[in-house]
Amino acid sequence: MTELQLIKVGMADLNATNEDRILRTTGLGSCVGLTLFDPLHKVAGLAHIMLPSSSIAREGQLNKAKYADTAIPELIDRMLQLGANKGRLEAKLAGGAQMFSFNTGNDMMKIGPRNVDSCKEILAQLHIPIRSEDTGGNYGRTIEISNDTGMLTVKSVNKGIKEI
Amino acid sequence: MSLFNQLDDLKFDVLREVGNIGAGHAATALSKLLDKPVDMKVPQVRIVEFEEIPESVGGAEEVVIAVFLRVIGDAPGNLFFLLSRDSALSLLSKMVGLEHIPSDEDWFDLNEIQISAIQEIGNILAGSYLSSLADFTQLDMSPTVPSMTIDMAGAILSYGIMQFGAMGEHAVLIDTSFYDGTDRVEGHFFLIPDPESFEKIFSALGVPHE
């Protein structure tokens, strides 16, 4: 089997494809890797989401890919432009870990679970079903999705490789 | 927020000095533990794009040992002590007499003694970094209980820069690497003050800051 060409998605970044490609993002800690897939039109999208809501943004120019509430609609738009049908989109989630555990009372430190919750809430509002997820825990993940099958491959350092 | 625009040469020097003071004391502590000299590189103050953060420690998927503690008090922030696999093994062989070199497979099956040894080294060094920094700045900076993990560098460090997330695409890292010339013990201290802490640090050290 020939290696499919890889599209790297960085932190606070998103991308979508309708060609034979693999979308990949590395080193997800408390960030969430959210993928959307239209199985009929073979359009896949991946967002590396860093924060739950753009309401806390203090940056001049908003990077939509960074926040769950802006990244998901933006990713959908991109995919619709590539021929996806909104009604067919299915979501998968990975990441949202709490890398270190301790009590400081600082909410920022519990950002992983909050990112996951926020993604789920927004997907529910948009009526996009969640097919599978590998979230939480206290470890990092690298994920890949192929636009051919929509299979999400999740790699971690000591839990091996999972396909979800 | 224009923190990054306000960091002129003088402020870079001050932050480098912060790294020097903290890591210098920690390196001395390490040197005592190992009973041999430990050298330190000139601290680098880096304004890094989120994208580049993993590269500063050898790649997003590079597996490292990290001891992390949250700094609380006047100038909150995150402090990391990062060791590569080889360096950790080298430290372990010196400190707890770990004779065999574990294969890739059992790297994560470090026994309890080995894990506590690494954790303890990390605690001592991070604590030493922080207490010298608190003395130097006369700011109240207390450590939380440190926690340790072995994981992808990207996943670890990205967690440490979350406070910068809402502000833009960059974070400020004070990176001090240390090394033991003969035995390849090499590691990094990363001090990542919260964005709001810079003003406190600068004013504590008498540097005018808007």
Q: Considering only the beta carbons, identify the residue of B1, B163, B169 that sits closest to A108.
A: B163
Is B146 within 8 Å of B119 (Cβ atoms)? yes
List of residues 6+ apart from B178 with CB closer than 8 A? B23, B26, B27, B30, B38, B39, B40, B41, B186, B187, B188, B189
Q: Is the ipTM of this complex over 0.90?
A: no
The SS3 of residue A16 is strand
Give the architecture (CATH level 2) of A5-163.
2-Layer Sandwich (3.30)
Hey, is the C-beta of A11 within 8 angstroms of any chain B C-beta? yes
Yes or no: say if A73 and A96 are a contact pair by the CB < 8 Å rule. no
Put simply, the answer to whether B152 touches A26 (Cβ < 8 Å) is yes
Give pLDDT tens digits for B33-90: 777 788 888 888 888 888 777 776 677 778 888 888 888 899 999 888 888 777 887 7
A55 CB within 8 Å of a chain B CB? no
Nearest CA in chain B to A98: B159
Q: How do residues A68-106 score in pLDDT, each as one tens digit?
A: 999 999 999 999 999 999 999 999 999 999 888 765 556
In this prediction the pTM is 0.86
Which one from A28, A31, A50, A143 is the annotated catalytic residue?
A: A31
Segments making up each domain of chain A, as ranges: 5-163
Check A99 against B162: CB less than 8 A apart.
Answer: no
Residue A31 catalytic? yes
Query: DSSP assignment of A53-116, as one string?
Result: -GGG---SS--GGGBHHHHHHHHHHHHHHTT--GGG-EEEEEE----S------GGGGHHHHHH
